[in-house]
C-alpha cells in the first residue's frame, strides 16, 4: 500500500466518521422530538 493509498483511506475514514456523527446526532434529536410530539398529542 502506497502512502497515497493510506492517505485516501484516512481521508475516507475521517469523512465517514463525520457523516456518521451527524446522522447519529440527527437521530438523537429526532427521537427526542418524536417523544415530545407523542406526549403533546396524547394530552
Partner 1 sequence: MTSLPVQETQRLPADWRDLFALTKPRVMSLVVFTGLCGLLAARAPIHPVIAFTAVLCIALGAGAAGALNQWYEADLDAKMRRTANRPLPGGRMDRQSALHFGVGLSVFSVILMGFAANWLAAAWLAVSILFYVLVYTVWLKPRTAQNIVIGGAAGAFPPLIGWAAATGDTPLLPWLLFAIIFLWTPPHFWALSLFVRTDYANAGVPMLPVVSGIEVTRRHILLYTLPMIAAALAPWALGLAGWIYGLVSILLNVIFLGLAIAVARNRATEPAGMKPEKKLFGFSILYLFALFAAIVADRLVLS
| 3 vs 41, beta carbon nearer partner 1 | 41
Task: Tell me if 8 contacts partner 1 by CB under 8 A.
Answer: yes
Among 16, 21, 24, 25, binds partner 1 (CB under 8 A): 16
Nearest to 18 by CA among 26, 6, 29, 30: 26
Per residue in 31-43, is it b (16+ CB within 10 Å) or e — as a string? eeeeeeeeeeeee
Task: Tell me if 21 contacts partner 1 by CB under 8 A.
Answer: no
What are the residues binding partner 1 (CB under 8 A)?
Answer: 5, 8-9, 12-13, 15-16, 19, 30, 33-34, 36-38, 40-41
Amino acid at each position: 500500500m502506497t502512502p497515497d493509498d493510506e492517505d485516501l483511506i484516512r481521508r475516507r475514514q475521517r469523512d465517514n466518521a463525520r457523516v456518521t456523527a451527524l446522522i447519529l446526532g440527527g437521530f438523537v434529536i429526532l427521537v427526542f422530538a418524536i417523544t415530545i410530539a407523542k406526549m403533546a398529542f396524547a394530552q
